[in-house]
Amino acid sequence: MPQDDTNIISTEYSEIMQKSYIDYAMSVIIARALPDVRDGLKPVQRRTLYDMSELGINADKPYRKCARIVGDTMGKYHPHGDSSIYEALVVMAQDFKKGRKLVDGHGNFGSIEGDSAAAMRYTEARLDKFTQEVFLADLDKNVVDFGPNFDETEKEPVVLPVTVPNFLINGSEGIAVGMATSTPPHNLNEVVEAEKAYIKNPEISLEKLMEILPGPDFPTGGIVTNKDDLKEIYETGMGKIKLRGKVEIENVKGGKTNIIISEIPYTMIGAGITKFMTDVVGLIESRKTNDIVDVSNQSSKEGIRIVLELKKGADPDYIINMLYKKTKLEDTFGVNMLSVCNGRPETLSLKGVLKAHSDFLYELNTRKYTTLLEKEKERKEIQEGLIKATDVIDLIIEILRGSHSKKDAIDCLVNGNIENIRFRSQASRENAVLLHFTEKQANAILDMRLERLIGLEINKLEKEYEETQAKIEKYTDILENPASMKKTIIKGLDEVKKNYSQERRTLIENSEAAVFEEKPIEETDVVFLMDRFGYARVVDTATYERNKEACDSENKYVFTMKNTGRIGLFTADGKLHSVKCLDLPMGKMRDKGIPIDNVSNYNSASEELIYVDSIENIASSKLMFVSEKAMCKVVDGTEFDVAKRTVAATGLGEGDKVNTIAPISDEMRQVLLQTQDGVFLRFSIDEIPEKKKGAVGVRGMKLGGNDKIDKVYFMNFADERTIEFNGHEMALTYVKTTHRDMKGTKVRL
């Protein structure tokens, strides 16, 4: 019987889940969501840039399809799906999202207004020159460690040798498990100068650093309005930055003014611009302001230009303050400078970021110049051998001609072994014994071309040797002398600043909080109009009087009310929905209006409207309710003057619905109930008691079988009206007056 090697481990399920979740969380934090403070890149960004470098898609080479880049990156380094790689690639190519773009995109890479990039099969990309020179230049000099990729078939850099604090320059946003990073972009010139200042004096105060780097520099420009709060933000790595768009006032013909928004807050990128336009239109429709005539987005490749046209005599400063308060033209950017530092997530201060990157720069340069020094020492060894060889070239040629193999020749040159060498003279044999080249020198001598024996070539070789000695001295000085190392690092930072200098785009100041007090709405009479399809609007009374006949014939509900009032919508299922008049558009005669569903909780797809009137009119009257099961009651209208948008208007029995709601007056003395089976009952309204809105009411008529109330008529004692019944006209007085809660009379005409 075979032996069972199964090893069963007994443990708590909760412990396994806890460990698994922690492993997952750390994987997301370290390997996906957070940037490394050293190069400011997330793993997907780092792998994409490295893959482009490996593919040779440099700034001076033709563009390559993004699908090729994404596929190669996914296959070699980042097995997390093509969409995440392409999205990272697109963002690195968008100059309106990055302080300094890292990828040179060709094609549709989206827009600041939120348009998405074209599919990866249509777009092309290559490395930006900045990325090539600042991020990837020294990868061949053993400056960073390489590790295995996901399937251990390739090697990838653990971090890119970025020579500027990219974590600050481009900022970063990412959501991990239980934590998130949000770092604003900064100006490259200021970041470089700040790092130089820190390298020169690691004890420099935050105040001095902020004289050099006063705050964020967003690619969209705009204004930071809380300058005094930035010190605490840079001290703790956390806080809130208040942003405003840049607004200008433009005078136009006719004494009018336009408000021009030429720069937007960084947080408005994408859908935020459309949302801003919608919010402005909402302010106009809700009559928060009547001074904005039109709003248009005239933005182009040249920049942002959103135009608000104002009425003549409008106060532009009041409108601007309203926009700051009521829209995202003034917004907040939450700062949390969280990154991976020394292999773990850590929220860093400004000095903390500069320290981490300057330490990284020292490591990069130490490894770089150690590698260069070793190469120069190897080159020096070979050059010394070649120079020495030119002095005894005749002997070397004689050794080579007298050797049976390359091995014998090298043995003679290195060890002076002449056993297997034929010489022409005893003097040559004696001199050959004295040769002691190194093995590298011997191989270089054998590989040397005869043209190197020309006089000028010998001089060139000696000059190269002098240059090599100078480099060795230089590299040794850099590695051994801290002042020289510091000077070298600062020189490299200066070169980056010189080649890729950029102007500050964001203004930093202490602005006063926008003061905006809503002007009280002038109370006027308006006319509410709603057609049978549920499209509602209000018009001024003058418009209604001029078009009274058309308004009355084309609309189902027409009544006069105050523009500050509310409209009550009663439904068959016993609900009351209220709508502010200000939420409805003030339209012209031929305007269609908006669906009443859009501004209320009423749902036309599942609810049936029974009665509509202004809450003001309702509160000043009494309403009579009649249900399909003939339950009747009278309710004082003041009960419906409530603040809630939806309340229960009446109590209903199981399976019952409201049939009729109507205000009653002194002229309405009687009620006539008509059922679907043609049964009529006429009685005095005084027999119906007044109840609370939550009551079901009293029975108005005894119904037979499945019969139910069809129509309700209100009349006085001598009402001469006629109704159509079974194809005949019938006078309301045809039905005799009896009492409530009777069976009624079946009419046959």
Query: What per-residue confidence (pLDDT) applies to 511?
Result: 81
- Secondary structure of residue 158 in the 3-state scheme: coil
Q: What is the pLDDT of residues 402-455, one digit of tens each?
A: 888 888 888 888 888 888 888 878 887 878 888 888 888 888 888 877 666 665
Catalytically active residues, by annotation: 122
* Between residues 8 and 273, the one the model is more confident about: 273
Whole-number Cα distances in Å, 293 to 275, 279, 283, 518, 530 = 18, 14, 11, 18, 25
CB 301, CB 597: distance < 8 Å: no
Query: What per-residue confidence (pLDDT) applies to 452?
Result: 62
Whole-number Cα distances in Å, 306 to 184, 267, 273, 280, 703 = 24, 16, 9, 11, 66
HSE, CB side, 13 Å, CA atoms: give it for residue 333. Answer: 34
Range 323-329 average pLDDT:
91
Query: What per-residue confidence (pLDDT) applies to 176?
Result: 66
Range 722-728 average pLDDT:
87
Whole-number Cα distances in Å, 548 to 385, 539, 540 = 111, 11, 12
How long is the chain?
A: 749
What does the alpha-carbon distance between residue 421 and residue 429 come to, in Å, rounded to a whole number? 9
> pLDDT category, 208, cuts 50, 70, 90?
very high
- Percent of residues, the chain, with pLDDT higher than 90: 60
Q: Does domain 525-746 have CATH number 2.120.10.90?
A: yes
Whole-number Cα distances in Å, 307 to 93, 262, 313, 445 = 28, 9, 17, 77
Range 123-138 average pLDDT:
95
Find, among 140, 142, 183, the residue nearest to 42 by Cα: 183
Strands (DSSP E) contained in 441-524 are 507-508
Indicate left, alpha or beta for 455 from its phi (over 0: left) and psi (-120 to 50: alpha): alpha
Q: What is the pLDDT of residues 583-635, one digit of tens each?
A: 888 877 777 888 999 889 999 889 999 999 999 999 999 999 999 999 999 99
Q: What is the pLDDT of residues 365-393, one digit of tens each?
A: 999 999 999 999 999 988 888 888 888 88
> pLDDT category, 1, cuts 50, 70, 90?
very low
* Between residues 639 and 593, the one the model is more confident about: 639
What does the alpha-carbon distance between residue 215 and residue 173 come to, in Å, rounded to a whole number? 17
Quick one: CATH architecture of 356-499?
A: Orthogonal Bundle (1.10)
- Above 90 in pLDDT, residue 71? yes
Q: Are β-strands 507-508 and 223-224 bridged in parallel, bridged antiparallel, or unpaired?
A: parallel
The CB density around residue 271, as the number of other CB atoms within 10 Å, is 11
What does the alpha-carbon distance between residue 369 and residue 387 come to, in Å, rounded to a whole number? 26
Which amino acid does the sequence have at 287? R
- Secondary structure of residue 303 in the 3-state scheme: strand
41-161 and 525-746: identical CATH topology: no
What rounded mean pLDDT belongs to the chain?
89
Which amino acid does the sequence have at 337? M
- Above 60 in pLDDT, residue 150? yes
- Above 50 in pLDDT, residue 557? yes
- Above 80 in pLDDT, residue 116? yes
- Above 80 in pLDDT, residue 6? no
Query: What per-residue confidence (pLDDT) applies to 733?
Result: 86
Could you give phi then psi for residue 622, rounded to 5 degrees? Answer: -115, 140
What does the alpha-carbon distance between residue 697 and residue 17 come to, in Å, rounded to a whole number? 60
> pLDDT category, 353, cuts 50, 70, 90?
very high
CATH code at 246-328? 3.30.1360.40
Q: DSSP assignment, residue 738?
A: -
- Above 70 in pLDDT, residue 61? yes
Q: Which residue has the tokens 């690639």?
A: 89
Find, among 94, 91, 93, 88, the residue nearest to 70 by Cα: 88
Q: Which residue has the tokens 């604003």?
A: 184
- Above 90 in pLDDT, residue 271? no
- Secondary structure of residue 745 in the 3-state scheme: strand
In the CATH hierarchy, which fold is given to the domain comprising 41-161?
Topoisomerase II; domain 5 (3.90.199)
**Torsion, CA 148, CA 149, CA 153, CA 155, rounded to 10:** -60
Q: What is the pLDDT of residues 669-696, one digit of tens each?
A: 899 999 999 999 999 999 999 999 999 9
CB 279, CB 268: distance < 8 Å: no
What does the alpha-carbon distance between residue 138 and residue 135 come to, in Å, rounded to a whole number? 8
Least confident of 182-186, 344-348, 388-392, 628-632: 388-392
Q: What are the residue ranges spanned by the domains of the chain?
A: 41-161, 246-328, 356-499, 525-746
Question: Which tokens sit at 208?
Answer: 């001095």
What does the alpha-carbon distance between residue 382 and residue 398 come to, in Å, rounded to a whole number? 21
Strands (DSSP E) contained in 83-136 are 103-106, 124-127
> pLDDT category, 88, cuts 50, 70, 90?
very high
CA 706 to chain centroid, in Å, comes to 60
- Above 80 in pLDDT, residue 169? yes
